Amino acid sequence: MRIDPRLLNWGLFFILLGAIPLAVRQGYLTEASLERWWSLWPLLLVAAGIGLVLRRTPLDFAGGLLTAGTLGVMAGSVLATGFNVPSFAGCGDERGTTAFPSREGTLSPGAAVRVEINCGDLDVVSGGGNGWRVTGVDDNGEGPQIDASASELVVRSDDVRQPLGFLGSRDRWTVTVPGTVGLDVTLALNAGRGTVDLADGSFGRLALDLNAGEALIDAERVGNLDRLDVEVNAGSARINLPARTLSANLSVNAGSIAFCVPDGAGLSIDMNDNITAGNNFDERGLTRSGSTWETAGFGEADVRIEIDAEANAGSINLNPDGGCNG
């Protein structure tokens, strides 16, 4: 009998994916013993090395088997612990304490803003007028790289100074953007923590790419927001949506997204999920038809929020107990 190594890898992955949650339910493992599942990631590098060393030998399947086993344990642990993804926002051994010179300027209507921070805390707030401002602290007072014109603002970590940000100190930035000019805002948060407060602002699109961190988007009091796109990888995001018609895309891989909608808003969620995904839409009274979940009377609602959602080894939950602020 000849075993296909590819099927062997998938078989091991699914065995562990199901066996670990089962072992927890039966009392053979505790959730506490699995909470640091993410610390197994170095085994993936070991598996890659084994695969290279044993390539074109009778044992060339060993690297793939270790990779499948590691991913199975990690994914099974996530399922067993209820998608309690750890915060990687604690990157760096210490916080920077040196204030860098503030920078400011103006933006034209419809301008684009992109902010990318590696290892740090980011606060994005909506301000009046057409002016932007960047303030904060880091380890040496140099501040982020900033490229600015009337049509675009780009703020990003200095990769020359800090090529491996998660090994250095944590930066802290506050970026104030004009909330009166219909900006498109794109945020990339890598190994850090972020808050976005859009109070009273008018925006076109807000996009967040969150990797190994945590973030809060407070759009409850936004003046206008046409579209929201959030992607979470190994992290957690919380979102307060406004009582305004909008479309959104929510995607999570090995993490969690919790979002809150105001009372009376019509909600339609097209959910692309699988056996590694979880949601609470049924508990919140939504009705399912195929891949779509809807609130009663969605078509007649004055405020309609339409969401495309996708989860892989993660969860997307509506109106969690305790709300989305904490």
What CATH number is associated with residue 276?
2.160.20
103 & 238 share domain: yes
Q: What is the mean pLDDT of residues 285-292?
A: 96
Domain count of the fold of the chain: 2
| 13 Cβ contact list (under 8 Å, min separation 6) | 68, 69, 71, 72, 75
134 & 167 share domain: yes
Q: Which structure tokens are listed for 216?
A: 């809060």
61 & 121 share domain: no
Within a domain: residue 325?
no
Contact 111, 151 (CB under 8 A): yes
Of residues 232 and 162, more confidently modeled: 232
What is the tens place of the pLDDT at every residue in 215-249?
999 999 999 999 999 999 888 999 999 999 999 99
Within a domain: residue 85?
no
* Rounded Cα distance, 150 and 148, in Å: 7
What is the model's pLDDT at position 31? 67
Within a domain: residue 90?
no
Q: Give the pLDDT band of residue 292 (cuts 50, 70, 90).
A: very high
242 & 312 share domain: yes
CA dist 113 → 99, 149, 183, 231 (Å): 23, 10, 7, 18
127 & 200 share domain: yes
Of residues 89 and 75, more confidently modeled: 75
pTM, 2 dp? 0.75
139 & 106 share domain: yes
213 & 137 share domain: yes
Question: 52, 80, 108: which is the final residue of a domain?
Answer: 80
What is the model's pLDDT at position 166? 46
Contact 154, 117 (CB under 8 A): no
* Rounded Cα distance, 34 and 23, in Å: 11
Within a domain: residue 92?
no
Is 81's pLDDT higher than 80?
Answer: no
57 & 175 share domain: no
Question: 51, 80, 109: which is the final residue of a domain?
Answer: 80
Q: What is the mean pLDDT of residues 32-40?
A: 66
* Rounded Cα distance, 112 and 130, in Å: 13
Question: 32, 51, 80: which is the final residue of a domain?
Answer: 80
Of 87-91, 100-104, 166-170, the range with the highest mean pLDDT is 100-104
27 & 114 share domain: no
Within a domain: residue 91?
no
What is the model's pLDDT at position 168? 57
SS3 label, residue 69: helix
What is the tens place of the pLDDT at every residue in 298-321?
999 999 999 999 988 788 999 998
Q: Give the pLDDT band of residue 73 (cuts 50, 70, 90).
A: confident
57 & 135 share domain: no
Type of residue found at 113: V
What is the tens place of the pLDDT at every residue in 133-149?
999 999 889 999 999 99
22 & 108 share domain: no
Domain that holds residue 256: 98-318
Within a domain: residue 87?
no
| 205 Cβ contact list (under 8 Å, min separation 6) | 184, 185, 226, 227, 228, 229
249 & 168 share domain: yes
Within a domain: residue 89?
no
Of 84-88, 179-183, 192-196, 311-315, the range with the highest mean pLDDT is 192-196
Is 18's pLDDT higher than 60?
Answer: yes
Within a domain: residue 267?
yes
Beta-strand ranges (E) seen in 254-303 are: 256-260, 266-272, 278-279, 287-289, 292-294
**pLDDT averaged over the chain?**
85
